[in-house]
Amino acid sequence: MEFSYIFWSVIGWMVFWAVAGSLVTRRVYLRRDLDTSNAGFVGAMMGAAAGPFGLAPLWIKTPEIGKRLLVIPPLAAVGLIGIAFGLADPSNNCVSNGSFVASQIMNGLIIGIIYGFMALGLSLIFSILGVVSFAHGEFYMIGGMIVYFMTAVWFPGVNPAIAILAACAITFALGAAFERLFLTPMYEGKIDRPVEYGILITFGLAFTLQYFVQAVAGANPFKARRFIDFPILRLPSVEDPWLIKTSRGNMQLFDTVSISNPRFTAAVMCILVLCALLYFLHRTWTGKALRAVSQDREAAAIAGINPDRMNMLAFALGGMIAALAGAMLVQAFSWLPQVGAIPAMRSFVIVVLGGLGSLPGAFLGGIIVGLVEAAGTGCVPDTQRAASYIPAYGMIVLTLTLLLRPTGLFGRRFAGGAHGKF
């Protein structure tokens, strides 16, 4: 970094006013008997973005904290960090190379969509059952394994779509069976400590699945072939393909943004399935029943919904979503029985960041983590360390968010302690 003092001075200024804003704003709102639930967060963001020039009007007028105040100051704070970084390190690729920035944003978005999709399954399970599934990564791994073995070993040449459907069906059935066999004691009052039971039993499932797969499939890495090759395109013309230029495994947009085939197809599939899932949750009776149970189990039961069935459906669906993410990524990453560990850890971070039990929060959290990781990898000046800190970038965002908004971005007060029972 050429002028690091500029960057660190601005960061110091922002931190000072963020801390002051957080502490004082909450007190000011409290003294005037106003809602303080988001006062600390808004005060911190306003302090970071505008320092005393933003905080003074906030403390004087104490406006009602609406969406505008929740969104604009954080974005302004991020923008300020960007400007400080740009002034401090003008030769950095993230400052001077537009196509690099566009590529990193696209990379972050694509991987973020996949992260968010996987975390969605975890969030769905938590919102209905109140259980954090520690076997989420193993469902992801099994999804990829099934697709690999179907397309490369058992039925070489089979259409990958069939293998993906099979992976979904098998993991759905596995999730449903596990929920019926091992999680029902939680709802029936047979377990004194359901939270711990849920953690331990899903841990047990994770180890069982991982070592079972290792015993059956071995521990050598493998990878499925690309599901589809991009058609060779040169648009608008062969001579000057500035719009789109494709090879079998890569697509280049506007001569700048480069997207690899497996990641592109995975992200597109995730978006399509997300749309289908949203339709299912908002437009079908079963989906509405699921949402009703997540909001109020007792009221849902009075309305004729069987919460037990919803428990089973949520766990099976959550596992299937993870498996689908794995099924799509087995063409992008080398696959091993332990491949689910890192994505599962990331999903936990995303779910807490987005707000426990919040589906939009999980998806948005995934995209935020993806973008932050891409920014960190691309912009941290020390190349030796930039990529080493990948797991840390998400944790920094999570820590800051929880510090200012303990419920996460879209968190709500979950019916704590329900854990699948009334």
Interface size with other proteins, residues (CB under 8 A): 49
* Per CB under 8 A, 206 contacts other proteins: no
* Per CB under 8 A, 221 contacts other proteins: yes
CB of 152 to other proteins, least distance (A): 8
Taking residues 143 to 182 in sequence order and writing x for each that binds other proteins by CB under 8 A, - otherwise, the string is ---------x------------------------------
Taking residues 232 to 261 in sequence order and writing x for each that binds other proteins by CB under 8 A, - otherwise, the string is ---------------x-xx-x-----x-xx
- Residue 370 and residue 19: Cα distance in Å, rounded? 27
Per the structure block, which two tokens stand in for 201?
Answer: 């039993």
Per the structure block, which two tokens stand in for 273?
Answer: 């399935």
Per the structure block, which two tokens stand in for 369?
Answer: 């983590």
Q: Which residues pair with 258 in a beta bridge?
A: 252
What is the DSSP track for 349-405? HHHHHH-TT-HHHHHHHHHHHHHHHHHHHHH-S-HHHHTTTHHHHHHHHHHHHHHH-
- Residue 412 and residue 400: Cα distance in Å, rounded? 18
Among 27, 225, 288, 291, binds other proteins (CB under 8 A): 225
Of 248 and 309, which CB lies nearer to other proteins in the complex structure? 248
Please list every residue from 76 through 115 that binds other proteins, using CB under 8 A. 93, 97, 100, 103-104, 107-108, 110-111
Contact stretch for other proteins (CB under 8 A) within 159-167, 181-189, 313-321, 385-393: 385-393
Of 169 and 215, which CB lies nearer to other proteins in the complex structure? 215
Q: Judging by beta carbons within 10 Å of its beta carbon (0-12, 13-18, 19+), is residue 227 exposed, middle or buried?
A: buried
Contact stretch for other proteins (CB under 8 A) within 33-41, 273-281, 289-297, 377-385: 377-385
Buried b (16+ CB within 10 A) or exposed e, 50-72: bbeebbeebbeeeeebeeebeee
CB of 202 to other proteins, least distance (A): 20
* Per CB under 8 A, 208 contacts other proteins: no
Among 75, 215, 271, 387, binds other proteins (CB under 8 A): 387
Q: Is residue 315 a contact partner of residue 129, using CB atoms and an 8 Å limit?
A: yes
Nearest CA to 342 out of 329, 359, 360 is that of 329
Of 237 and 383, which CB lies nearer to other proteins in the complex structure? 383
- Residue 18 and residue 1: Cα distance in Å, rounded? 24
Among 154, 212, 385, 396, binds other proteins (CB under 8 A): 385
- Residue 64 and residue 245: Cα distance in Å, rounded? 50
Beta strands, E only, 234-364: 234-235, 244-246, 250-253, 257-260
Cα 32–Cα 37–Cα 39 angle in degrees, nearest 5: 60
Of 237 and 384, which CB lies nearer to other proteins in the complex structure? 384
Question: What Å distances lie between residue 123 and 59, 186, 294, 321, CA to CA?
Answer: 36, 19, 11, 11
Of 38 and 103, which CB lies nearer to other proteins in the complex structure? 103
* Per CB under 8 A, 373 contacts other proteins: yes
* Per CB under 8 A, 220 contacts other proteins: yes
Residues that bind other proteins (CB under 8 A): 93, 97, 100, 103-104, 107-108, 110-111, 152, 214, 218-223, 225-226, 247, 249-250, 252, 258, 260-263, 332-334, 336-339, 341-342, 373-374, 377-378, 383-388, 390-391
